[in-house]
Amino acid sequence: MSLSAHSVSQPLGVHAEHIAFIWHAMLGACGLMYALLLGFLVMTLLRQHRSAPAGVELEKRIERTLILWVGLIVVGLCGLTLASFLTDRALVRAASEPQIALRVIGHQWWWQVEYVDADNSQNVRTANEIHLPVGAQVHIALSSDDVIHSFWVPNLNGKRDLIPGRSTEIRLQPLTTGRFRGFCAEFCGVQHAYMQFEVIVESAQEFAAWKARQLAGAVTPTDPLRQAGRDVFERAACPLCHAIAGTNAAASTGPDLSHFASRRLLAAGALTNTRDHLRAWLQNPQRVKPGNHMPVVDLPGRDMTALVAYLGSLQ
Amino acid sequence: MSAPRDGEDFDEASTAQQLTRTWATPRGWWGALATVDHKDIARRYLVTAGVFFVGAGMLAFVMRLQLSRAENTLIGPDLYNQLFTMHGTTMMFLFAVPVMQAVAIYLVPLIAGTRAIAFPRLTAFSYWIYVFGGVMVWVAFALNIGPDAGWFAYTPLSGPQYSPGKRVDFWAQMITYTEVSGLATAVSIVATILKMRAPGMSLSRMPLFLWAMLVTNLMVLFAMPAVMLASSFLIMDRLVGTHFFNAAEGGDALLWQHLFWFFGHPEVYIIFIPALGMVSSIVATAARRPIFAYPLMVLALIAISFMAFGLWVHHMFATGLPRLGNSFYTAASMAISLPSGVQIFCWIATLYLGKARFNVALLFVIGFIVIFVLGGLTGVMLASVPLDLQLHDTYFVVAHFHYVLIGGAVFPLIGAVYYWYPKVVGRLLSERLGKWNFWTLFIGFNVTFFPMHYLGLAGMPRRIYTYASGLGWDGLNLLATLGASLLGVGVLLLLVNMIRSARVGPLASPNPWEAGTLEWATTSPPPPYNFPHIPLVTADEPLWRERDHLSVMRGLRLDKRELVVTTVVEARADLREPVARPSLWPLLTAIATGGMFLASIFSPWAVVAGAAPIAVAMIGWFWPDQPPRADGEDPEP
């Protein structure tokens, strides 16, 4: 599944479609006004080469044109305001029946994602990616753990801020399957650039399968290398911030790693999640993503190999 | 013997000699530090603002280099964040507003036909405070403690928890410095325009330039206190542990955004409206006729200034405020394009009805129309709540406001440089170099900023120090960087032209463009007293009506600094008013005030301790020159 072009003008969700409509209406109306004004300017410049004297008659004609121009602007603005208002109403009405409820919490500089179910045992926790079944009406409750962030998936909807001390909400309803890039759109500090995520829209069956895997808990290593990796993980500083289901690590300062290897991106979009990148990241997170909150954890080479192997197996 | 007065007793040469003796700034370092001549102060302001403009432009170019290709490692995120914070802060607070006020400080007394600005010492004070604040924040930047939370410094990112250290404190105090300076200048300009216009220049005859400056500086008086309040709250949160913006303790992060944008949106118009005044002057002169529909133009200026205060929430649509309220701000934001659209129409109509004489100043006005209108139209798009939710905080917005601010303010400003340079310097700029200057800037600007519209639509957020390749942003970013190089060449050509022409340009007559307003009635450059005799205005464009013999008013003292105060509406001569002489006290007061602001970054007690030197300096400043006399007459020297 390749990444879709994440463009406002390629709406792949219900909300983004409404917004694309108003974009095209604006482009048409504003383009017309711009053309008219430039036409008047060009006429004026061409006129300078002739020596037609400006009489009272001409001045009267320009006055009438001005009245027409004002009328045109007023009508245009009223039309666009109305269209904008109606689009806003349509956005409120769209996806009003939540079929999937999520909670997204913004952190400097990653996204904590929680699927909230009426049955607590069905809750899923992950980070920096959101899986959704195609066509589902999704409500996402947004909050922030530190500073203001903004949740934005251009293909699906506009953006909504995550503000400490306030709760906000955004709704999505994706219309096609695919991978859509999401960004933090509000400047949130040193690593604002790499506070990205992916929305993976898949068929209902694929989504159900994904969710079942997430609920199943972390893979228990069977071979000695990965078992050693798990020991390294538990002994080193990792559990102070991270969680892996079935180990002693249950902290939530950093992303939940129970199904780490199933994610395509690493460090909120800074790298793709390959073994080499993972090793580079673990060896020196500050070189890959300067200023982020993950400390350098100094490990002997053998331990590092084991840790990479273990984390890489957490499908 | 009675005091010498302007009148039949003295011939022109003797009048000029006596006035020069009275009004000239003393030579030497004392004169340089103590000057209260509005032209001296304005020239300093203009040069200082120009230096900040070039500095902030270079920061922008470094950012463009960093973004020219994906995953570039030229600079890291920490420096990049300082760069865009310093770029925005410098351009908005240290260049755009001060440069427009500086033009007003120079030209308003001349166009109003008076000898000085209303509060000359306050104006001198405003310059010193401005330069101290600007130098402070740039020194901090040079020491790698430059602000890095954006020119908008949103809380809580700028608060004590997420921006430890002193970086944001420097930013917050820089705001306080520049706003004190801006307010001081605004008071002087408003008073000059309302009370010191030449007799006969009633409000109905007042040039649009003065209307624009009046409206702008009234806006400053209402907008800037909001941001000073905000920055003071911020520094109190950071320094003495208040919790204005701390949600955990009952504060509110959004309070900052409301206060900041209640200033921040009018700020855009505070930068833009002076440019409208400049454009009106250039267009009327080029077309050799008054601006078409003058009353409508005045109403449009006033309408813009009122509406500008009702738009700020359109910066906050994504914060999830109530939707009905948002719709109101959509309507208001769209409505402001009506008066702007009317103005653009009237300028083109003026050129259409007149017989335009082309010069570089007019070329920049045409560039202004082409660029600004596009920026205005993208502004209409951003006014729509749903569309704004997509475009907000993307490169589309970066494109939009550079079209509005460079197109709407910098192009008219450069046009104004070509138009008024001969008045200020006494020599004409090269028109040939000017054309090169225009085309490099025009093409460079569009190549730099037009692609950003597309980048925003393609999902590129603002304020990112780098981006991965494969997102479809690479080519256009490179193009924008190439455009920025051409833009840099354009600015360089302007500087070359200005420096070269100051020495070798052809000498300017008093009125090289055959303009109609009063600043062209005196020599180029003007003498320290501006006009040998105060003009008496009998027509809308006095120099067109009375080309050969301008009516004048006589009777002002020649041996003392004195000018005429007139009534607000009709501009009837009302009072003779003494004018302050040069003084070191404004500088000393600025040092005391600036020292207090600077020290308060480090300790709240500085506010208490710093009050004493300020009090001493101000007592010195306001100490009466001479004992007042019981009969109310001036004491004879």
pLDDT single digits (tens) A228-253: 999 999 999 999 999 999 888 999 89
Please report the pLDDT score of residue B126 as a whole number.
97
> Are B148 and A187 in contact, with CB atoms under 8 Å apart?
no
Q: Is B235 left (phi over 0), alpha (psi -120 to 50) or beta?
A: alpha
pLDDT (mean) for A19-45? 94
CA distance B192 to chain A (A): 34
Please report the pLDDT score of residue A50 as a whole number.
64
Q: Is the pLDDT of residue A52 over 90?
A: no
Beta bridge partner(s), residue B565: B575
Contact assignment for A185 to B351 by CB distance below 8 Å: no
Q: Is the pLDDT of residue B367 over 50?
A: yes
**Rg (chain B; Cα; Å):** 25
Percent of chain B with pLDDT over 70: 98
User: How do residues A63-89 score in pLDDT, each as one tens digit?
Assistant: 999 999 999 999 999 999 999 999 999
Q: Which chain B residue has its CA at the smallest distance from A169's CA?
A: B320
The residues, ordered by sequence, that sit 6+ positions from B562 with a Cβ below 8 Å of its Cβ are: B115, B556, B576, B577, B578, B579
Q: Which chain B residue has its CA at the smallest distance from A51's CA?
A: B355
Q: Which residue has tokens 């409208």?
A: B276
Contact assignment for A186 to B318 by CB distance below 8 Å: yes
Contacts of A267 in chain B (CB under 8 A): none
Dihedral of CA atoms B191, B192, B198, B199 in degrees, nearest 10, equals 10
Please report the pLDDT score of residue B98 as a whole number.
97
User: How do residues B274-316 score in pLDDT, each as one tens digit?
Assistant: 999 999 999 999 999 999 999 999 999 999 999 999 999 999 9
* pLDDT confidence bin for B365, thresholds 50/70/90: very high
d(CA B556, CA B575): 11
Identify the sign of the CA torsion B337, B338, B343, B346. Answer: positive
The residues, ordered by sequence, that sit 6+ positions from B340 with a Cβ below 8 Å of its Cβ are: B300, B304, B376
CA distance B251 to chain A (A): 9
Q: Which chain B residue has its CA at the smallest distance from A40's CA?
A: B348
Contacts of B397 in chain A (CB under 8 A): none
Contact assignment for A7 to B458 by CB distance below 8 Å: yes
Contact assignment for B393 to A185 by CB distance below 8 Å: yes
Q: In 3-state terms, what secondary structure has residue B92? A: helix
Contact assignment for A48 to B331 by CB distance below 8 Å: no
Residue A128 CB neighbours (<10 A):
23
User: Which candidate from A66, A88, A185 shows the least CB-CB separation from B293?
Assistant: A66
User: How do residues B45-64 score in pLDDT, each as one tens digit?
Assistant: 999 999 999 999 999 999 99
Contact assignment for A148 to B323 by CB distance below 8 Å: no
Please report the pLDDT score of residue A121 as a whole number.
87
- The pTM for the full model equals 0.95
d(CA A149, CA B319): 10
User: How do residues B121-162 score in pLDDT, each as one tens digit?
Assistant: 999 999 999 999 999 999 999 999 999 999 999 999 999 999
pLDDT (mean) for B339-355? 94
Question: Which of A37, A142, A266 should we substitute to test contact with B (largest number of B Cβ atoms within 10 Å)?
Answer: A37
Q: Is the pLDDT of residue B28 over 50?
A: yes
Identify the sign of the CA torsion A31, A33, A36, A38. Answer: negative
Please report the pLDDT score of residue B548 as a whole number.
67
Contact assignment for B78 to A291 by CB distance below 8 Å: yes
Nearest CA-CA partner of B266 in B332, B345, B360? B332
> Are A198 and A128 in contact, with CB atoms under 8 Å apart?
yes
Question: Which of A73, A184, A272 should we substitute to test contact with B (largest number of B Cβ atoms within 10 Å)?
Answer: A73
CA distance B335 to chain A (A): 7
Burial of B337 (0-12, 13-18, 19+ CB in 10 A): buried
Contacts of A183 in chain B (CB under 8 A): 459, 461
* pLDDT confidence bin for A1, thresholds 50/70/90: very low
User: Which candidate from A6, A59, A81 shows the least CB-CB separation from B459?
Assistant: A6
Contact assignment for A148 to B157 by CB distance below 8 Å: yes
Contacts of B318 in chain A (CB under 8 A): 150, 158-161, 185-186
Contacts of B76 in chain A (CB under 8 A): 290
Q: Is the pLDDT of residue B635 over 70?
A: no
Instruction: Tally A–B CB contacts below 8 A.
Output: 231
pLDDT (mean) for B532-554? 85
Nearest CA-CA partner of A186 in B394, B66, B326, B148? B394
* pLDDT confidence bin for B626, thresholds 50/70/90: low
Q: Which chain A residue has its CA at the smallest distance from B467's CA?
A: A193
d(CA B310, CA B306): 7
Contact assignment for B461 to A183 by CB distance below 8 Å: yes
Please report the pLDDT score of residue B607 as a whole number.
92
CA distance A41 to chain B (A): 6
DSSP B279-329: HHHHHHHHHTSPPTTHHHHHHHHHHHHHHGGG-GGGG-GGG---HHHHHHH
User: Which candidate from B334, B390, B470 shows the least CB-CB separation from A77?
Assistant: B334
CA distance B520 to chain A (A): 26
Q: Which chain B residue has its CA at the smallest distance from A187's CA?
A: B463
Q: In the 3-class helix/strand/coil scheme, how is B324-367 assigned residue by residue?
A: HHHHHHHHHHHHCHHHHHHHHHHHHHHHHHCCCCCCHHHHHHHH
d(CA B153, CA B162): 11
d(CA A65, CA A67): 5
CA distance B223 to chain A (A): 25
> Are B537 and B113 in contact, with CB atoms under 8 Å apart?
yes
Q: Which residue has tokens 């069977």?
A: A222
Q: Which chain B residue has its CA at the smallest distance from A73's CA?
A: B338
Please report the pLDDT score of residue A2 as a whole number.
47
Contacts of B358 in chain A (CB under 8 A): 48
Burial of B135 (0-12, 13-18, 19+ CB in 10 A): middle
Q: Is the pLDDT of residue B636 over 50?
A: no
Contacts of A291 in chain B (CB under 8 A): 77-78
d(CA A259, CA A216): 10
Beta bridge partner(s), residue A181: A198
* pLDDT confidence bin for B214, thresholds 50/70/90: very high
* pLDDT confidence bin for B628, thresholds 50/70/90: low
Q: Between β-strands A100-107 and A138-144, what pairing exists: parallel, antiparallel or unpaired?
A: parallel
Q: Between β-strands A129-133 and A196-202, what pairing exists: parallel, antiparallel or unpaired?
A: parallel
Alpha helix locations (H) across A48-164?
56-93
Q: Which chain B residue has its CA at the smallest distance from A81's CA?
A: B331
Contact assignment for B77 to A190 by CB distance below 8 Å: yes
pLDDT (mean) for B2-26? 89
Contacts of B347 in chain A (CB under 8 A): none
* pLDDT confidence bin for A6, thresholds 50/70/90: confident
User: Which candidate from A30, A38, A291 shows the least CB-CB separation from B381?
Assistant: A30
pLDDT (mean) for A126-150? 96
Give the Å distances, CA to CA, from B551 to B113, B518, B541, B545: 12, 12, 13, 11
Q: Is the pLDDT of residue B631 over 60?
A: no
User: How do residues B398-457 score in pLDDT, each as one tens digit?
Assistant: 999 999 999 999 999 999 999 999 999 999 999 999 999 999 999 999 999 999 999 999
User: Which candidate from B292, B351, B387 shows the least CB-CB separation from A22?
Assistant: B387
Nearest CA-CA partner of B235 in B144, B146, B174, B316? B174
- So what's the ipTM on this one? 0.95
CA distance B507 to chain A (A): 29
Q: Which chain A residue has its CA at the smallest distance from B395's CA?
A: A185
Contact assignment for A290 to B466 by CB distance below 8 Å: no
Burial A253-274 (b: 16+ CB within 10 A, else e): ebbbbbbbeebebbbbbbbebe
User: How do residues A261-289 score in pLDDT, each as one tens digit?
Assistant: 999 999 999 999 999 999 999 999 999 99
Residue B598 CB neighbours (<10 A):
17
Please report the pLDDT score of residue B512 as a whole number.
94
Tell me what the pLDDT averaged over chain A comes to.
Answer: 92
Q: Which chain A residue has its CA at the smallest distance from B373's CA?
A: A34
Q: Is the pLDDT of residue B624 over 90?
A: no
User: Which candidate from A8, A63, A187 shows the least CB-CB separation from B457?
Assistant: A8
Please report the pLDDT score of residue A209 as a whole number.
96
The DSSP call for residue A11 is -
Tell me what the pLDDT averaged over chain B comes to.
Answer: 93
Dmax over CA atoms of chain A, in Å, equals 97
pLDDT (mean) for B509-528? 94
Contact assignment for B348 to A63 by CB distance below 8 Å: no
**What amino acid occupies position B98?**
P
